[in-house]
Chains A and B, each alone.
Chain A
Amino acid sequence: MSHAQTSRVVEELRDRIAHLEGSVSRKALILPFGVPDIDERLPGGGLAYGALHEVAGGGSGTVDGAAAALFAAGIAARSKGKVLWCLTRPDLFAPALSQAGLHPDRVIYCEADREEDVLASMEEGLSFGGLAAVVGELVRLPMTASRRLQLAAEKTGTMGLVVRRWRRQTEASDYGQPTASTTRWRISVLPSEALPVAGVGRARWLAELMRVKAGECAEFELGACDAKGRVHLLPVSADGSDTSAWRRSRAG
């Protein structure tokens, strides 16, 4: 069988499977990063609406989740509509979200006392259908809970973002456990962009795409969210030595 024929058969099968899954109408609902290198690694060319995405910090970011929250805020900022942000620890500083492009009028915070309530609120928000994204800050995300969230998101096409943050850095090994989320990211801070003068330049992140359904893992060095929530890819460049030193220290 020739190559063209095989691909045609495969294509046909794919179409039929997609039709069975009933996801044809949602095919186009993708939020691209606007960075070709990232988007081509993601199936469909961007982060899927109607799916659950997990973000965690690296290093001490596993506890504070500062970069992860900002990454999620950047994604939410680029979507259109209201955002529900569910949390238990109210230490998120809204001006920073505003600086990442997420206007304070767009965010409704939902503060709960227990993790279970955060999960319930997220599910309610995802199945409500009128929101652009639902963000939840969680310590634990069991398989069952993540599947419920994923299904609720699939039903309405709302994007679910889970910011994982733990009480202690050692507990972060929990991030290896499987969940039903579509993508899983780890955002670690890198030394900021070098400036010709003394001072702190634009923040930089190492974004690890640790898991993606129907895709392969990847790593990107990103410039942090700008005022519109956009990230940009750094030219692998100038101070390469700097990052390699950083890598060595992490590994060692």
Chain B
Amino acid sequence: MVIARSGSKRWISAADTAARKLGLKVGMPASKAQAMVANLQMVDADPLADGAAIERLALWALRRYSPVVAVDGVDGIVMDTEGADHLQGGEELLISGIVNGLRGRGLTARAAVADSWGAAHALARLTSAETVVVPRGDVTKAVIGLPIHCLRLGPDTIRALRVLGVETVGELSALPQAPLTLRFGSEVGRRLDQLFGRLAEPIEPLRTPELVEVARNFQEPIGAAETIAKYVRRLVAQLTAKLEERGLGVRRSDLIIHRVDNTRQCLRAGLAKPVRDPAQLVKLLCDRIEKIDPGFGIERLVLVAVIAEPLEEKQVTSALVEEEVVDVTPLVDILGNRGQRLYRIAPLASDVPERSIQRIGPTAIETGAHWAAKWPRPSRLLPYPEEIETMAVLPDQPPVVLTWRGKRRRIVRADGPERIFGEWWLRPREMQAVRDYFVVEDEQGERLWVFRAGDGVDIGTGSHKWFLHGIFG
């Protein structure tokens, strides 16, 4: 439990799960808590250290998740996910990824995605679910029932509104605005408008002195794709020049587009390894220019190297003798930034076919490893083995007839069995499991990979049902 003090007043500013179970609440006087629970462990609050920690978290989020990240209040981080969520597979996956990432670091977090900063702020703090995604345009429905203390108003205003009998956002927004403004100032109306997204509330992104940033202001707003491309090219040239001074290469760069109507868009481009080649960066950024909606015009372009890593100059060996090795990372970067899943498949030491492959990064180190099995493997492997009807002699004969997806086939030739044992050293349930694989060929010449669960004698080794697992070419 954390205790904050102001003058001689001491109250609870944070409590962990165990303390909350005992009935302690945030905002309760410390003496009352001590009276309720004996041997209470109390720590003095340190707002400065908290602020520094939240800023470190915000920087982490800036590097990983979104180009526009800022500290929100004293206990939160706000980020603009537009233009960045597709890299994580959508908003849902993005925020669950954030929450899981923080949990891995021993922190409990709740996250919400909504159209406006105000709504996301309120939902993240007030709903019980770990992650909330409000669909576009549904903000009103989502926030109407929330209590008014989520509105980022001063405590005095909240108290006064409660005295008036206003408890929820819905009730507050139903009141006439003019008397409210007269009594409480313009703050209430502004916060309400920000909550419903009627008033733009730009996020001022967090920046540190290490970040390399170049910007360009336009006297006349620009909008045409060619013009944007031209200025992106110039910005990239400036950025790479700056990076060269420091001996750095970009790993992740953000293009932030300020429009005249005070809204902002971002393009984020990630790279598989540090790069300082202007042409490659320009290609990555210009590849998605069509995603930019210039609206009434763009008045400012900012290009930031969010993650920069040391990049040393290298001497290129003469290509006269040696075979040229092509670096595919530029292609990987282009396709990856479009949201395609890129991977290589590497062997994994497992006899079970579906576990013998693993996906690795497209630019992972080449090991030269092969699959050890000398038995033929099918070129198509079904996602799950499909059960088939067969006629076969137990214990070790291949099927004579099999029916798969409603088609009956007479088996002319067969090879097998190739016996595969369960991996009991990894999964205790597979202690006795056995699969007998056969390559079978029907009258038409189609070659299929079928297996029988179990060894054909002992029912403990499998159900003795037949499955089709792959198709040979």
Residues of A within 8 A of B (CB): 59-61, 64-71, 73, 81-82, 84, 91-100, 103-105, 107-112, 117, 120-121, 124-125, 128, 130-131, 187, 189-192, 198-201, 203-205, 224, 246, 249
Contact = CB atoms under 8 A, between A and B. Distances in A.
A120 B373 CA distance: 36
A125 B383 contact: no
Interface stretch (B234-242, B253-261, B295-303, B325-333): B325-333
Contacts of B326: 81-82, 130-131
Interface of B: 326-328, 330-332, 334-335, 338, 340-347, 353, 356-357, 362, 366-371, 373, 376-383, 412-415, 439-441, 443-447, 470-473
Given A82-B326, A191-B412, A203-B473, A91 B383 contact: yes
29 contacts: A64-B471, A69-B379, A81-B326, A82-B326, A91-B380, A91-B381, A93-B380, A97-B379, A104-B347, A108-B332, A108-B362, A109-B341, A110-B335, A112-B340, A121-B338, A124-B331, A125-B331, A128-B331, A130-B327, A130-B328, A187-B473, A189-B445, A190-B445, A191-B443, A192-B441, A192-B447, A198-B413, A200-B447, A203-B472
Contacts of B343: 108-109, 111
Given A95-B357, A120-B338, A189 B379 contact: no
A107 B373 contact: no
Residue of B330, B343, B344 with most partner-chain A CB within 10 A? B344
Listed from nearest, the 10 A-B pairs whose CB atoms lie closest are A70-B473, A130-B326, A67-B473, A93-B381, A191-B445, A94-B345, A96-B379, A95-B377, A66-B473, A105-B366
Contacts of B340: 110-112, 117, 121
B291 to A, nearest CB: 14
A121 B378 CA distance: 26
Contacts of B342: 108-111
Given A94-B345, A105-B368, A111-B340, A192 B331 contact: no
Contacts of A191: 412-413, 441, 443-445
Nearest to A224: B473
A61 B444 CA distance: 12
Contacts of B444: 59, 189, 191, 246, 249
B377 A93 contact: yes
A108 B332 CA distance: 9
Given A99-B376, A117-B340, A200-B441, A105 B367 contact: yes
The winner among A60, A68, A94 for most chain B CB atoms within 10 A is A94
Nearest to B439: A200
A18 B374 CA distance: 47
Residue of B340, B369, B379 most packed against chain A (CB within 10 A): B379
Contact of B380 (A92, A104, A190): A92
B62 to A, nearest CB: 28
Contact of A93 (B331, B368, B378, B413): B378
A84 B366 contact: no
A98 B331 contact: no
In this complex, the member of A59, A91, A95, A128 whose beta carbon has the largest number of chain B beta carbons within 10 angstroms is: A95
Given A82-B326, A192-B445, 18 more contacts: A66-B380, A66-B472, A91-B380, A91-B382, A95-B347, A95-B353, A97-B379, A98-B371, A104-B347, A108-B328, A108-B344, A110-B342, A111-B343, A120-B338, A187-B473, A191-B445, A199-B415, A201-B413
A67 B378 CA distance: 10
A69 B473 contact: yes
Contact of A95 (B356, B362, B366): B356
A159 to B, nearest CB: 15
A80 to B, nearest CB: 8
A92 B383 CA distance: 10
Contact of B335 (A121, A198, A203, A246): A121
A104 B369 CA distance: 8
Contacts of A103: 368, 370
A101 to B, nearest CB: 11
A236 to B, nearest CB: 17
A94 B357 CA distance: 8
Nearest to B360: A104
A73 B378 CA distance: 13
Nearest to B374: A99
A60 B25 CA distance: 67
A107 B473 contact: no
A189 B383 contact: no
A124 B370 CA distance: 29
A198 B412 CA distance: 10
User: Chain A CB within 10 Å — which of B369, B413, B443 has the most?
Assistant: B413
B6 to A, nearest CB: 55
A124 B353 CA distance: 32
B338 A117 contact: yes
A191 B443 CA distance: 7
A69 B445 contact: no
B342 to A, nearest CB: 5
A206 B439 CA distance: 20
Contact of B345 (A59, A73, A104): A104
Contacts of A124: 331, 334-335
Contacts of B472: 66, 96, 203
Contacts of B415: 199-200
Nearest to B331: A128
Nearest to A67: B473
Contacts of A109: 341-345
A190 B446 CA distance: 7
Contacts of A198: 413-414
Contacts of B357: 93-95
Nearest to B344: A108
A199 B414 contact: yes
Contacts of A201: 413
Contacts of B346: 104
Given A81-B326, A82-B326, A117-B340, A203 B345 contact: no
B289 to A, nearest CB: 15
B345 A107 contact: yes
B441 to A, nearest CB: 5
A199 B375 CA distance: 13
Residue from the set A93, A117, A125 with the largest chain B CB neighbour count within 10 Å: A93
A130 B381 contact: no
- Residue from A91, A112, A187 with most neighbouring chain B CB atoms (10 Å): A91
Contacts of B356: 95
Question: Which of A73, A81, A110 gathers the greatest number of chain B CB atoms within 10 Å?
Answer: A110
A67 B343 CA distance: 23
Given A104-B346, A105-B366, A121-B335, A66 B441 contact: no
